[in-house]
Amino acid sequence: MTEAMEYDVVVLGGGPAGENIVDRTRAAGLTTALVESELVGGECSYWACVPSKALLRPALARAEARRVPGLAGAVAGPLDAEAVFAHRDYGTGNWNDEGQVGWIDSTGADLYRGHGRLYGIRKVAVTSPEGEHHILSARHAVVVATGTRAVVPEVPGLAEARPWTSREATSAREVPGRLLIVGGSVVAAEMATAWQALGSRVTLLVRGSGLLPRMEPFAGEMVADALREAGAVVRTGVEVEAVERDGSTGPVTVVLAGGERLEGDELLVATGRAPRTEDIGLDTVGLTPGDWIGVDESCRVPGSDWLYAVGDVNHRALLTHQGKYQARIAGAAIAARAAGTGDIDTSRWGTHAATADARAVPQAVFTDPEAAAVGLSLAEAERAGHRVRAVDHDMGKVSGAGLYAEGYRGRARMVVDLDREVLLGVTFVGAGAAELVHAATIAVVGEVPIDRLWHAVPAFPTISEVWLRLLEAYRG
């Protein structure tokens, strides 16, 4: 049976970006349908941000407590892995989306569970798990928010070895004795931190020259040093040529270039993401299945007056908060454009251009130490042709850091546009760094002049006093 329904907006994908589209379009009075093939809430809620941070928080809290005089001895023992897993399971709702489905219902949007595919201009075909078929038509917009999936490289034997991806790494219920991790970016670094703290003997195999390649080099260096101190093995410049596994649950062996063999109980592959667009009907609207979907500043697909793409799938910034930001922008744009045919108030949503994706993307990496950055690194700013100066400061020398933890180690850098005397980028590495990055984001987005930043007085005695030290170093 095929049922045809018409809506103002149809959203394909119910992760954070899709949910925010629903929120904005429903608030503007537009009828909206949401199509989701898995769990409402998406990757972030069940296999990425939420469970990973639930695994990481005990590791970071213990690491920081061990540096506090009078407390270190009380946290000398191992983590209670079962308690950590239980907290993670609670955070994910035990992989049950009932709460988020209730929120969708409260907005007045309609939820369609099943596999959705574009079905030509302004149409989405949905096949439910029970085999029912629905054709959804959109009067104003179809929004693709299908996200990304983990990439498993074409290495001989790798697929057959059933490696962990980010999903298995954040949902596993047993601590592997030996965990091999291939990759050097955020997922690899964070999961190395979490599982080493939970009791695994972690070996991190990095093809490139260091960890966290999208940040300032010192960020990856400090995280790698801390992992080594915690007992992990971090090897850079290595190439995996083959993978072998003994039976269905036996040890897994990684063969490196040159023939060296490393054995582990589990293997996590964290080498990148690909768009989940291979089977969503892109070919029916003149796009290529499996490709990223290019968009303009309102997140609308060029050449179309109805098709939008928000979140990871458009490849602008593969971060949950940026996907939600894009959804707010796109939702406002859709509502504003729809207002030509109806009485819809869009004034509360502000501008309709996703400018932050180009120059002010904040990111926090929850390793020990934490690494957080916004805007351009020094190398990126120089490649873009800016006349810049990098100003660094040892965060351990800030008075608040000494009170925060004994032997506090950290580093801060701001990249200054010398022609305009505004910040192009800021990086912090150290305990609590993730909570510092929003102030930097405001400075970068607002293009606050250096002379004005002098009057943003940091509270004493906090680690945020690093701002004062950076400004002093700049003025010299």
Write out pLDDT tens, residues 86-117.
999 999 999 999 999 999 999 999 999 999 99
Beta partners for residue 12, in sequence order: 35, 144
Rounded percentage of the chain residues whose pLDDT exceeds 70: 97
Cα first-last separation, the chain: 74
Q: At what angle do helices 217-229 and 186-198 cross, to 10 degrees?
A: 20
Instruction: Answer whether residue 3 shows pLDDT above 70.
Output: no
CA distance 397 to 412: 11
- The structure tokens listed for 27 are 């608030």
pLDDT bucket at 276, cuts 50 / 70 / 90: very high
CA distance 48 to 58: 17
Total residue count of the chain as it appears in this document? 476
Helix (H, G, I), strand (E, B) or coil at 118: strand
pLDDT in tens, 331-347: 999 999 998 744 445 45
Helix (H, G, I), strand (E, B) or coil at 224: helix
5 within 8 A of 309, measured Cβ to Cβ: no
CA distance 261 to 331: 51
- The structure tokens listed for 179 are 């965990």
Pick from 443, 202, 464, 151: which is nearest to 211 by CA?
Answer: 202
Pick from 441, 453, 451, 447: which is nearest to 423 by CA?
Answer: 447
Question: What is the DSSP-derived secondary structure letter of residue 461?
Answer: T
pLDDT bucket at 249, cuts 50 / 70 / 90: confident
Please count the other Cβ atoms lying within 10 Å of the Cβ belonging to residue 4: 10
Q: Could you give the residue ranges of the DSSP H alpha helices within 92-208? A: 98-107, 166-171, 186-198
Helix (H, G, I), strand (E, B) or coil at 424: strand
Beta partners for residue 110, in sequence order: 33
Q: What is the residue-averaged pLDDT of the chain?
A: 94
How many Å is the Cα radius of gyration of the chain?
Answer: 24
Q: Sign (positive/negative) of CA torsion 367, 43, 319, 220?
A: positive
pLDDT in tens, 369-421: 999 999 999 999 999 999 999 999 999 999 999 899 999 999 999 999 999 99
- The structure tokens listed for 118 are 């574009």
In the block, residue with structure tokens 């503007």: 28
**Average pLDDT estimate for 157-169:** 96
Residue 359's pLDDT is 82
CB neighbour list of residue 305: distance below 8 Å, 6 or more residues apart: 337
263 within 8 A of 178, measured Cβ to Cβ: yes
Task: Write the Ramachandran bin of 278: left for phi over 0, alpha for psi from -120 to 50, otherwise beta.
Answer: alpha
State which amino acid sits at residue 175: V
- The structure tokens listed for 250 are 């036996």
Domains and CATH numbers, the chain: 2-41+97-149+275-356 (3.50.50.60), 159-271 (3.50.50.60), 369-475 (3.30.390.30)
pLDDT bucket at 32, cuts 50 / 70 / 90: very high
DSSP string, 177-219: SEEEEE--SHHHHHHHHHHHHHT-EEEEEESSSSS-TTS-HHH
- In Å, how far are 109, 125, 195 from 230, measured between CA atoms? 48, 51, 11
State which amino acid sits at residue 386: H
In the block, residue with structure tokens 């250096």: 450
CA distance 418 to 467: 18
Rounded percentage of the chain residues whose pLDDT exceeds 90: 91
